[in-house]
């Protein structure tokens, strides 16, 4: 067993459609707030076939902002990548619990100006048809335009 943070126990409740995407976003924000010390200001999850993208905006630290302003984006990228490598086992476990699917591979990417972190998960199989339909309905619904979007201000993202 590694020293990497582990997924939450007991397993998270089964979710679908908007609630699944919101739960994924919420848990990703919560993990960053817990282990990084600061979470993104906004996060939204997208499920497509056998892919999951979690797009998180903001959340760069004052130290990272200082380095970026001084032209040291490579150092910020390297640190963020090392952090995500340590967090990978926990994040993959959390996503597997929420989606009830095996994650084959995971990658994290940080973009600057604007500051955006994208977490990419590839599953062993596509989402069940009912889940695909629920996600599609949620994405197509005008009233649900921001469904699945979580803010770090949401109390549910606070570390326990």
Residues of the chain above pLDDT 90, percent = 51
**Whether pLDDT at 8 is above 60:** no
Place of tokens 């599609």: 136
The domain segmentation of the chain, as residue ranges, is 17-142
Q: pLDDT digit string (tens) for 57-93?
A: 999 999 999 999 999 999 999 999 999 899 999 999 9
Per-residue pLDDT, averaged over 138-155, amounts to 60
The model's pTM is 0.78
Q: What's the CATH number for 17-142?
A: 3.30.980
For residue 29, how many other CB atoms are within 10 A of its CB? 26
Question: Which are the contacts of 108, defined by CB distance < 8 A and separation ≥ 6?
Answer: 80, 81, 84, 88, 117, 118, 119, 120
């Amino acid at each position: 067993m590694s020293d990497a943070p582990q997924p939450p126990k007991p397993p998270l409740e089964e979710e679908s459609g908007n609630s699944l995407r919101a739960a994924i976003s919420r848990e990703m924000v919560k993990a960053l707030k817990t282990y990084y010390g600061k979470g993104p200001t906004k996060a939204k999850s997208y499920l497509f076939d056998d892919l999951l993208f979690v797009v998180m905006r903001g959340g760069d630290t004052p130290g990272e902002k200082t380095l970026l302003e001084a032209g040291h984006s490579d150092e910020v990228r390297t640190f963020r990548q090392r952090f995500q490598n340590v967090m990978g086992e926990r994040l993959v476990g959390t996503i597997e619990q929420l989606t009830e699917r095996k994650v084959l591979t995971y990658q994290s990417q940080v973009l600057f100006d604007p500051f955006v972190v994208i977490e990419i998960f590839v599953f062993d199989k596509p989402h069940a048809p009912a889940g695909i339909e629920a996600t599609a309905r949620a994405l197509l619904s005008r009233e649900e335009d921001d469904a699945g979007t979580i803010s770090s201000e949401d109390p549910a993202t606070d570390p326990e």
